A and B are shown apart, each in its own frame.
Chain A
Amino acid sequence: MAIDEHLETFAGKTMYDWNVESGIQNPATSIPRIALSWEQSEAKQTWLDHFKAFLTGRRVADSSQKFTAFLEDVQASEITGLVVGSWQFYSGEEDSSQPVVEALVAAREKLPYLTALFLGDILSEENEISWIIQSDVSPLFQAFPNLQIFGVRGAQDLKFSALNHENLKTLIVESGGLAAQTVCEILGADLPELEHLELWLGTDEYGGDTTVADLQALLAGDLFPNLKTLGLRNSIIVDELAAALAGAPVVERLQTLDLSLGILTDAGAQSLLQSDRVRRLKKLDLHHHFCSAEIVSQLENLDIEVDASDPQVAEDYDGATYRYVAVSE
């Protein structure tokens, strides 16, 4: 399976695709997605051209355009959220997000109210999640001190080289395989206000080599004093995670534990069922799992909100059993 639809909402607001015709919509209720379109790619424009046009509210001159038209847009400077979509249109070349990050950083004074940013709302039809090449995103945190929500899709070459932020509340890393090195950087960050941490660990086939041991400091409850929601999603090691989380101090502080999209089986679910800490959560999200109907009904009988929907069936080929996470290639 794969991600086939763009974000419809982000940071509680409605998404729309920004282009010169649409202009900027009401920043109080909506967030623009800046993505390179097919037409632009054919006209040899780049994502950076598109972003520049967005910032200035100005049409980019191209071969079909003899003059530039000024639009009476709401100013880009009023926006509070931004989603970066595809920055390359399958040219076959490897294009990392680095120029995009640099352009965003350079535009910091033009986006003074930015509180929510998503980097890489890219569909599998546009580029596979494990083929998206990211870069060091730390400069974004320095450039946007008011940022509260940051999400990123694709973990290849993703770095958080120096992640310290006074106001960040939500950090989401969606991937088909998250490297232990990247996890280590995230867990080393100083994020006193962080309430929601979501890591898609993925599979070792796509670089996801994170183990339970790599998450030890997080599980011990030593990090992120305000953490309320922990998502360790889309993971092949979810059974081991469940066993470790059952007795982990961090769960005491959580309201929501999200182990969805992974390959949870009865073994992992049993650990959760037996944990007093888990029973004191507000919500347990396990959707997309490989548990039996009997275990699902036990989970649903817990006194907390449980999402155990979307049960999966393992596939058998040549005597081996295969279970797949929800989002890979």
Chain B
Amino acid sequence: MSPSASNFVTHNFVVVGNPESRRIALFQDALARMHLPAACVVSYLDLLQNRVALPDVVRRGDIVRLESPGQNWEVEKALLHLGAREDESEDWLSAREVEKLQFERGRIWPSRQWFCGLKNLLQKLEYQLAQCAPHRATHNAREIALMFDKPLCHAALCESGVAVPRSLGSPRCFEELAARMREHGCGRVFIKLAHGAGASGIVAYRTYGRRHQATTTVEMIRNSGVLFLYNSRRVRVYDDLKTIAELIDALCRQSVHVEEWLPKIAVGGKVCDARVVVIAGRAQHAVLRLSQTPMTNLHLLNARGDITMLQAKLPPRSWDAGMQSCESAMRLFPKSLCGGVDILWTPDGRRHAILEVNAWGDFLPGALHENRDSYEAQIAALQENL
């Protein structure tokens, strides 16, 4: 054991997350490989239901890591509950309605409500951490909230001079979107839920003269005249204007963020972009996301490619310039040890744009940088900074 590691043993990790999550298992594995004691895990559900409070857990000198609260139905329901409103709008569920919800695979729940719940939870964590013994935190509640707020995050990136696709703002319906597209002379856009996680509720829409095409993973299901939206793994293409308008209207009611759809470079016959994990200010792990559709998000069963294929195809200095942008993007989040930055290059490889900054974008099982996975790299960065 190296001297720094033995010194480090005195610092224990506290991880706030969903205990069954694979993210936590991988983090614990990383600690074990680095001969460090296992982290103490605090469950989001226990926190949300006030069965535990961080000041009772966090001790002097601990390092507190906030993990993703995703992929757990009880937690999702609790977040919707926290964000509940008692107004009549069909786009907000009341607390009582939330209590009656049953799990449905892929169902897109009101994302603004979910985000209000998340912000509420993050505030609670921030408050509790302020009451804790002196410690270090690898995440910051306000920064996480900013990363999840796509319109605000895009504006912040843009203001700080990071290359991003043009924004067409947050239209309230398809008609308004169409007007903005004409105004901007922009025939192709990505429509994303303003506060959605991952590939939830994303539509790639383009129009050309009389033609329209929407490519999406959102499935539209009508039940007694009511439209329900689901995320599916199958990519669907709609070319009929009425259906497209209906889909986009439904997403707009939840609040959306619209960006110009920039063409992506391809390698090996598939278009791609990259997920880059920036840790302690440095771009480290990079994963190539390949797709035959406009959707490159990893969990849509897309192939993960060899990043060196992209590096080889880019003109000189283009890769480095992209990595600098990823690092610049993360400078907006100085209190976050780590973030997953999505970046694309245009087909000629001469220009890049930052698509998204993901608070919990470090879950890339098997991806190594300098022989460390993203968790080991974060732990190592903390060791260096003690």
Contacts of A91 in B (CB 8 A): 185-187
With a CB–CB cut-off of 8 A, which chain A residues contact B294?
Answer: 125
Looking at the assembled complex, report how far the CB atom of A98 sits from the nearest CB atom of chain B, in whole angstroms: 15
A92: CB under 8 A from chain B? yes
Residues of B contacting A: mostly: loop
Closest residue of chain A to B270, judged by CB? A4
Q: Mark B307-351 against chain A: 1 for CB-CB distance below 8 A, else 0.
A: 000000000000000000000000000000000000000111011
Cα distance, A39 to B350, chains bound together (Å): 10
**Interface 0/1 of B231-242, CB less than 8 Å to A:** 000000101000
Return chain B residues, CB-CB under 8 Å to A38. 262, 346, 351
CB neighbours (8 Å) of B207 from chain A are 92
Which of B186, B211, B264, B270 meets A90, CB within 8 Å? Answer: B186
User: A60–B367 Cα gap in the complex (Å)?
Assistant: 45
By beta carbon, the residue of chain B nearest A5 is B266
Distance of B340 from chain A, by nearest CB (Å): 23
Residue in contact with B213 in the complex, picked from A37, A125, A329, CB distance below 8 Å: A329
**Contacting pair B187 A123 (CB below 8 A):** no
Instruction: Tell me the chain A residues, 75-132 only, with Cβ under 8 Å from chain B.
Output: 90-94, 123, 125-128, 131
| Contact yes or no, A2 B292, CB < 8 A | yes
What's the Cα separation between A288 and B2 when bound, in Å? 57
What sequence of 0s and 1s flags, for each residue 136-160 of chain B, a beta carbon within 8 Å of any chain A beta carbon? 0000000000000000000000000
Q: Which of A2, A4, A35, A92 contacts B208 (CB 8 A)?
A: A92
CB contact under 8 A between A17 and B348, given known A38-B262, A126-B263, A329-B213: yes
Nearest residue in A to B210 (C-beta to C-beta)?
A: A94
Report yes or no: B263 in contact with A131, Cβ–Cβ below 8 A: no
* Nearest-neighbor residue (CB-CB) of B293 within chain A: A2
Q: Write the nearest CB–CB distance from A76 to chain B, whole angstroms.
A: 20
What residue of chain A has the Cβ atom nearest to residue B260's Cβ? A90
Known: A90-B186, A91-B187. A127 touches B208 (CB 8 A): yes
Which residue of chain B has its CB nearest to the CB of A125? B263
Residues of B within 8 A of A123 (CB): 263, 266, 347
Residues A329 and B346 in contact in the complex (CB < 8 Å), given A5-B269, A92-B185, A123-B263: no
Question: Given A38-B262, A92-B185, are A125 and B208 neighbors across the interface (CB < 8 Å)?
Answer: no
Tell me which residues across on chain A come within 8 A of B187, comparing CB atoms: 90-93
Residues A131 and B208 in contact in the complex (CB < 8 Å), given A4-B269, A125-B266, A329-B213: yes
Docked complex Cα distance between A94 and B207 (Å): 10
Contacts of B213 in A (CB 8 A): 128, 329
CB contacts (< 8 Å) of A35 on chain B: these are 348
Chain A CB within 8 A of B271 CB: yes
CA distance A5 to B309 in the complex (A): 14
**A1:B292 contact, CB within 8 angstroms:** yes
Residues of chain A having any CB pair with chain B under 8 Å: 1-2, 4-6, 17, 35, 37-39, 90-94, 123, 125-128, 131, 329
Known: A90-B206, A94-B208, A128-B213. 8 other contacts (CB 8 A): A4-B269, A5-B269, A90-B186, A92-B187, A92-B188, A93-B187, A126-B263, A126-B347
Q: Which B residues lie at the A interface, using CB under 8 A?
A: 181-182, 185-188, 206-209, 211, 213, 237, 239, 261-264, 266-267, 269-271, 292, 294, 346-348, 350-351
